[in-house]
């Protein structure tokens, strides 16, 4: 099936956590890594995140000129199957093109965003990619959260995964990079190909691809 090039990027603690115990955000990337992330954002057609990331982090997904001169602003794509995101969320401010992918059971209207309706309440990764490819998205950046990242990894629906491992430890019961998957045997584990590593000032950057 034709699909966009899918680039997953995230930052995690030494013990593999994406955020604090209650799902609230914490700064893991340093300035060096933030510059890399914004350069990456400027190189893609669209950025995809889920409703939980909007609710917990309220990101703008804007490429900041602090990090990239004359940046290209990608389309913001939000998965909000049940209409849970707040009307005051920064991704709904109308400043950038924004698509909300949702189910036919969601009556919510998004005044400053394009509402894309799917027949099923649970939208599959491949349905999303098929729609995006047919609507001109050739390079997609998936930023989170853990549930969305899990779905792309478990469905083998990505081309490159980069993980910045910072210099902090968060502890147990905090969300990890993979949330919607648990292996009960070695056979069920997911193996990836480590392509390279880069040592940074306050962490390490890992590059993986599917095997």
pLDDT attached to residue 22:
79
Sheet containing strand 5-12, edge to edge, reads 114-118, 98-103, 75-79, 46-50, 139-144, 5-12, 160-165, 204-210, 192-199
CA distance 54 to 73: 18
Region class of 11: left (phi > 0), else alpha (psi between -120 and 50), else beta: beta
Q: pTM here? A: 0.95
User: Which residues of the chain fall below pLDDT 70?
Assistant: 1
Burial class (CB in 10 A: 0-12, 13-18, 19+), 135: middle
pLDDT digits (tens, 9 = 90+) for 64-79: 999 999 999 999 999 9
* pLDDT for the residue numbered 118: 96
C-alpha to C-alpha distance for 17 and 184, rounded to whole angstroms: 20
The confidence score (pLDDT) of residue 206 equals: 98
pLDDT the model gives residue 44:
98
Reference 140, options 121, 125, 154, 155; nearest CA is: 125
């Amino acid at each position: 099936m034709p699909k966009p090039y899918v680039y997953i990027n995230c930052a995690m603690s030494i013990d593999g956590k994406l955020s604090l115990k209650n799902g609230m955000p914490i700064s893991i990337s340093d300035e060096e890594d933030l510059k890399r992330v914004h350069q990456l954002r400027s190189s893609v057609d669209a950025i995809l995140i889920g409703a939980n990331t909007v609710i917990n982090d309220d990101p703008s997904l804007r490429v900041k000129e602090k990090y990239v001169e004359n940046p290209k602003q990608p389309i913001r794509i939000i998965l909000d199957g049940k209409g849970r995101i707040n009307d005051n969320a920064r991704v709904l401010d109308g400043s950038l093109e924004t698509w909300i992918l949702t189910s036919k059971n969601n009556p919510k209207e998004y005044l400053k965003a394009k509402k894309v309706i799917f027949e099923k309440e649970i939208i599959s990764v491949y349905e999303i990619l098929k729609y995006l490819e047919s609507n001109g998205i050739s390079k997609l950046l998936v930023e989170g959260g853990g549930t969305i990242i899990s779905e792309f990894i478990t469905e083998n629906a990505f081309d490159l995964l980069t993980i910045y491992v910072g210099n902090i430890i968060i502890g147990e019961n905090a969300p990890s990079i993979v949330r919607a998957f648990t292996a009960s045997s070695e056979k069920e584990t997911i193996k990836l190909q480590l392509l390279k590593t880069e040592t940074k000032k306050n962490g390490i950057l890992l590059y993986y691809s599917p095997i």
